[in-house]
């Protein structure tokens, strides 16, 4: 059943990623399978040196709700908020 996106607020899920390839195979499908339809999943790869970025890109190719931001490692989640590539968020929960 198709849900009307205009009547439901957009929920943005931010996933900070650093060398997490072992955990992404469980994490990303869990978020992808949520039933709330007006959802975007923003994955911020913080300079991973493992296969994390490739896994994220694979999910983004299959599901347009996944958005990938890749950058050099800055080692702090607070930097995510300052990233110019992020949408303006109405609420920030952590």
pLDDT in tens, 44-68: 999 999 999 999 999 999 999 999 9
CATH number of 11-82: 3.90.550.10
For the chain, the domains span: 11-82
Q: How far is CA 68 from the centre of its chain?
A: 6
Residue 55 CA to residue 9 CA, distance in Å, equals 28
User: How many residues does this entry show for the chain?
Assistant: 94
Question: pTM of this prediction?
Answer: 0.73
């Amino acid at each position: 059943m198709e849900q009307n996106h205009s009547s439901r607020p957009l929920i943005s899920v931010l996933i900070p990623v650093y060398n997490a390839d072992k955990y992404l195979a469980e994490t990303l499908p869990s978020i992808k399978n949520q039933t709330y339809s007006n959802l975007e999943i923003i994955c911020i790869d913080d300079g991973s040196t493992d296969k994390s970025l490739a896994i994220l890109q694979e999910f983004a190719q299959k599901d347009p709700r996944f958005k990938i931001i890749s950058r050099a490692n800055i080692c702090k989640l607070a930097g995510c908020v300052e990233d110019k590539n992020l949408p303006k968020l109405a609420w920030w929960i952590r």
